[in-house]
Amino acid sequence: MRDGTPRVALVTGGTGGIGEAVVHALVDDGFAVAVHYAGNKTKADTLVETITAAGGRAVAVGGDVADEHAMAAAFDAVESAFGGIDVVVNTAGIMVLGPIADYDLDQFDRIVRTNLRGTFVVSQLAARHVRDGGAIINFSTSVTRTQLPKYGPYVATKAAVEGLTLILARELRGRDVTVNTVAPGPTATPLFFDSNTEQTVAALTNATPLERLGRPEDIASTVAQLAGPARWTNGQTVFVNGGLA
């Protein structure tokens, strides 16, 4: 709470598997939440209706995360609705897998635009808008360490996100704003299942000591900690992967 009013969070990709879980976790923690969507306005509106019907505070905002004008308008809309922004969680991203030698360059430009430029645009706006005492949380992947074949272009964008995030944490010295990256392991989301073969899914399910895929709620619980009580965690990449080596 800030002066008796809820803290405010903007969650990009808020209609995705992990994004939606993050929205619910933050609402449960008392946040007013802006649910960002790129294309699925109906799902965002339905999620907002569910939250508000249960007594929470939420709005839907749209826009391409890589479009600085659309996202500036989204940030402005959140501030207009709730009076400010305390936390930005940037879950928006795409995954297009393939071997580097044969990877289509148009697809490479697309994945760089969304995952890297999009994270830069959102991080830049967050640095300008997040109130003192807030948090910025970006998303990477545990594959930056496991180095699985066919993940090269995706990992390239996410490794860049890690570097960008860690430097932003240093640049915001004196603001009491934490900046971290969450790097999930294999997580049971539509994006994961759509991007991997059944054989790969089975192998990754058994790859962790916990012998299961992560759940979106597993990732959301870590985000909720970074958004709230985990004030001494700053400038870090937090791997949330069930012990994946």
Residue 2 has pLDDT above 60, yes or no: no
Contacts of 232 by beta carbon, 8 Å cutoff, 6+ apart:
none
Are the C-beta atoms of 240 and 184 separated by less than 8 Å?
yes
User: Is 103 considered catalytic here?
Assistant: no
Say how far residue 87 (Cα) sits from the centre of its chain: 11
pLDDT at 194: 80
The answer to the question of residue 241 being in a domain is: no
Considering only residues 107 and 206, tell me which one the structure prediction assigns the higher pLDDT: 107
Q: How far apart are CA 83 and CA 5, in angstroms?
A: 10
Coil, helix or strand at residue 205: helix
Q: How far apart are CA 236 and CA 175, in angstroms?
A: 17
Contacts of 217 by beta carbon, 8 Å cutoff, 6+ apart:
21, 25
Confidence of residue 1 (pLDDT cuts 50, 70, 90): low
The answer to the question of residue 214 being in a domain is: yes
Q: How far apart are CA 128 and CA 203, in angstroms?
A: 42
Confidence of residue 214 (pLDDT cuts 50, 70, 90): confident
The answer to the question of residue 2 being in a domain is: no
Instruction: Give the domain range for residue 71.
Output: 8-235
In CATH, what number is assigned to the domain containing residue 15? 3.40.50.720
Q: pLDDT (tens digit, 9 = 90+) per residue, 146-199?
A: 888 999 999 999 999 999 999 999 999 999 999 999 999 888 888 778 877 888
The answer to the question of residue 36 being in a domain is: yes
Q: How far apart are CA 161 and CA 123, in angstroms?
A: 10
Q: How far apart are CA 35 and CA 44, in angstroms?
A: 6
- Give the total number of structural domains in the chain: 1
The answer to the question of residue 3 being in a domain is: no
Confidence of residue 93 (pLDDT cuts 50, 70, 90): very high
With left for phi above 0 and alpha for psi between -120 and 50, is residue 121 left, alpha or beta? alpha
**Bridge-partner residues for 183, per DSSP?**
239
Q: How far apart are CA 84 and CA 87, in angstroms?
A: 10
pLDDT at 106: 98
Q: How far apart are CA 223 and CA 135, in angstroms?
A: 10
The answer to the question of residue 25 being in a domain is: yes
Residue 118 has pLDDT above 60, yes or no: yes
pTM: 0.94
Please measure the distance between the N-terminal and C-terminal CA atoms of the chain and give it in whole angstroms: 38
The answer to the question of residue 240 being in a domain is: no
The answer to the question of residue 207 being in a domain is: yes
Are the C-beta atoms of 204 and 196 separated by less than 8 Å?
yes
Given 37, 103, 151, 154, the catalytic residue: 154
- Mean pLDDT over residues 104-125, rounded? 98
Least confident of 67-81, 121-135, 169-183, 188-202: 188-202
